[in-house]
Structures are given as C-alpha cells and as structure tokens.
Structure 1
Amino acid sequence: MIQSAPLASLTRLQPAGQYLLLGSGLILYGLSLRLMLNAGIGVSPWDVFHVGVTRWLPLSVGQVSILSGLLLVVYTALHLRERVGPGTLLNVVVIGLVMDLLSEAVPHPTRLLWQCVQFALGVGLIGLATGAYVGAGLGAGPRDSLMLGLQRRHGWPVARIRTGVELVVLVAGMLLGGPFGWGTLAFALAVGPSVGFGLGLFGLGARKAQQS
C-alpha cells in the first residue's frame, strides 16, 4: 500500500505524540457516533444495543458504552488473555464521554436530506478516527480486543468473528428497543471502505485493517 508520508509519519512519534494522536482519534470517534445517532435514521449495531439498554436502565448512551466496554476488557483480559494497553482503557472512557458531552451540541436534523448528510459525515469520520487511534499503537479498543482474542483462541477468520459478534449485538439491541433503521444497513455497507481509507491515510496495511 502506498503510504501518505505526512500522516504515516505520525505513527512513529514519541509517546507524547502517540497520546495526542490517540486522543484526537478517540474524540473524533465519539463525535462520529454522535453525528450518526442524532441523525435519527439508524446507528451502528453496537449503538443499537447501547441505546436499547437505555430504554431499560437510567443510564445515558455514553454510560452504557463505557460499561459494556469495561465488561469486554475484563472478559478479554481474564478469559482470552489479551493485552490491555493504555489505549484500550482510554478508548472505553473517552468515546462514551464525548458521546454524552456532544448530545445537545450536535444537530438533530428533521429533514431527510440533512439527516442523510449528517449520517454520511459520521460514517466518513469514523474511518479517519479509526486510523488515528489504531495508528497511535497504544492498544486495541475493547471490541477489537474481543475479536482478536477469539481469533487467537479459536482460529476463526477475523471477518467472520466481526460479522457474528455484530449480528448478535444488533439482534440483542433490537429486542431491547434500540433504533434500528435503514442507516444501520448503510453503516454495515460503508464502514469497511471508510475504515480502510482511514487506515491507509496513516500508512497501515491490510493486517491492521482486519483488526479494527
């Protein structure tokens, strides 16, 4: 893969630069999820689940995201023996906090055109955000760690694991009353190319793309 030199060089920064890149990526990731959620036409499978849980518990969507992330970290660390890096823990906390902090700051469009534009912006930004936080090299996110741990333990292809996990999460979220919409299907189709583009900007190859 041809690397974009200015961005790829960021992945070789000293620790302070790594944390700056990680923080920027996680903030951008939280923003992208909030953009899609407030667009009101569907969200990612994990957010279908997170919002579904808020229908039953007095928690915000960001708080549910943090709690589910912590549970995944504990499971993958203790049962699957996956390494927990500082980026893993920051991923759990920062994304959920940003989602809640931006709840009212991000528009809630009512016209379909602007809903689609905002949703598409969220999907596009999620690729750039993933490239940034993965490129920082400070540890995989909790959901990535789950997939990598299952792959190492059972030898299943990462793509099959990701699809299976997200289908289970999606069905659980729908049963809980989460906001499944046609945007959820659009996300499933578009997130792969978006993440691939974002990883490419940071000079990350196919192996990293499979892990994100």
Structure 2
Amino acid sequence: MPRRAWTASRRDQLGLDRLPLRLFTLAAGLTGFGVGIGLILRAGWGAAPWDVLSVALAERTGLSIGTVTILTSFLVLLLWIPLRQRPGIGTLANALWVGIAMDATLHLVPPAESVLAALSMLLAGLLLNAVSDAVYIGAQLGPGLRDGLMTGIHHRWVLRIGPVRAVIELTVLGVGWLLGGPVGIGTVVYALGIGPIVHLVLPAVTIPVRTSAPRAPVAG
C-alpha cells in the first residue's frame, strides 16, 4: 500500500478521493473480517494467534470474545504511542467493529456438529477473513492494529519486518495457549493460508489514491 495514505492524518484521510467508496469497503472489510473469525472459532479446530489469546482471556474473565478483542485492540493502540505510530480512520474502526462482528457471528452461528461442517466453516472463515483483510487494506484509511505495532517496532529499532511479526505472533500464541486458548489444525491452516490469499486479492481491491485531479482540456 502506498505509504502516503497510511501515514496521512485522519483529517487528510477525510479529503481522499472517492471517500464514500473507501468508507463502504472499509465497513465491508471489517465486517467480513469479524464474521470470518467467528466462523473459524465455530469450526472448533483452533484459531489465529491473536484469537487464541482472546478466547483464553474471555474464558477467564467471563467477557465475550468480541469484547476482549476490542479491549485488546485498544491496549495495542496504547503501544503505538511510544512507537510514534499514527492511527487512521480505519484503525479506530478496526478496534471497535471487528469485535462486534465477531460476537454477532458467534451468537447467530452454532458450533459445528460434524467433521464436514467444521471443515466447511474453517475454510469459509479463512477465505472470508483473508478477502476481507485485503478489502480493508485496499480502502487505504489506516493500517491495522497489529500491522501498526509491527511496523512501529521495525522503524523504531530498525529491525526486519519478518522476524518482528514472527516474534509478536508467536508470543501472543504462546501466552494464549498457556492460558488455555484453542490451538489446533485451524491455527496452522490460518498461518499458512492468510498471507497468500491476501497477496492474491489485494491488487484487485485496492483503491488507488489520486494525488491530483486530471487537467481539463484547453479550448482553442
């Protein structure tokens, strides 16, 4: 994604071209992302690293998984302050809406009762989650919460992105697993599948930022 859109202030983002389309795709992406996570959890075969932690904390606190996800998101945002990261409109919407969409899905969709149902939910959730992630990123209204944490650490200490992301996700996964979160084949499938699908879909759903309006033809 062009760095200009991610680092623009929220006021600047309100002046981006095709803002209604960007806001629509932002909402669609965040909703699909939360629904996808809910389907993966209902499959019962494990979860993504951050969701392993959210489930574990939800079971220990009595809060809903979506509520824990929202609270965790705002804690991650606090870590942005010393890293001098600037959240965008999409970042703040992400912190709130994904958890709500997750809880709605978990309320409406019952747990899988067969292997076929579990496999279908897992694959559907992964595909929806990945495509929605690409749609959210393509709106160019601010980085995701975990992405901002990762890039902030990268810029602050000049560390490579890959190892930084791996350490963060393995740490979160390890803590979640120790607290009793669901780790299983779904965790592995998510880790291997999310990146390639996002990479494949992202070019088709990205809304480019027009830096200037095209000039009108000169008469005469």
Deviation at 1:74, TM superposition (A): 1.5
Give the 3 Å change call, closer, same or farther, for CA 204–170 of structure 1 in structure 2: farther
Equivalent residue, structure 2, for 1:84: 87
Q: What do residues 38-90 of structure 1 show as CA deviations (whole Å, max 9, x unaligned)?
A: 010111011000001112112111011000100111211x1100011111110
Tell me the secondary structure at the aligned position of residue 79 of structure 1.
helix
Counterpart of 1:150 (choices 149, 153, 156) is: 153
Counterpart of 1:168 (choices 166, 171, 189) is: 171
Report if aligned partners of 1:55, 1:176 keep a CA contact under 8 Å in 2: no
Equivalent residue, structure 1, for 2:144: 141
Report if aligned partners of 1:31, 1:102 keep a CA contact under 8 Å in 2: yes
| 2:59 maps to 1:41 | no
Distance across 2 between alignment mates of 1:158 and 1:195: 17
Of residues 12-21 and 188-197 in structure 1, the stretch that sits farther from structure 2 once superposed is 12-21
Counterpart of 1:21 (choices 25, 47, 57) is: 25
| 2:189 maps to 1:186 | yes
TM-score by length of 1: 0.87
Report if aligned partners of 1:42, 1:180 keep a CA contact under 8 Å in 2: yes
Q: Where in structure 2 are the equivalents of 1:32-111 lying within 5 Å?
A: 32-76=36-80, 78-111=81-114
* Identity level (%): 36
Distance across 2 between alignment mates of 1:90 and 1:166: 22
Q: Which AA in structure 2 matches 1:157?
A: R
Aligned residues: 193
Q: What do residues 162-211 of structure 1 show as CA deviations (whole Å, max 9, x unaligned)?
A: 11111000000011110111211111111111221221322589xxxxxx
Which structure 1 residue ranges, 4+ long, deviate > 6 Å from structure 2?
A: none
Counterpart of 2:115 (choices 112, 115, 128) is: 112
Q: Which AA in structure 2 matches 1:179?
A: P
Distance across 2 between alignment mates of 1:70 and 1:51: 17
Distance across 1 between alignment mates of 2:105 and 2:188: 24
Structure possessing the higher radius of gyration over alpha carbons: 2
In structure 1, the gaps of 5 or more residues are 1-11, 206-212
Indicate the RMSD between aligned Cα atoms, in angstroms. 1.6
In structure 2, the gaps of 5 or more residues are 1-15, 209-220
Tell me the secondary structure at the aligned position of residue 84 of structure 1.
coil
Report if aligned partners of 1:27, 1:94 keep a CA contact under 8 Å in 2: yes
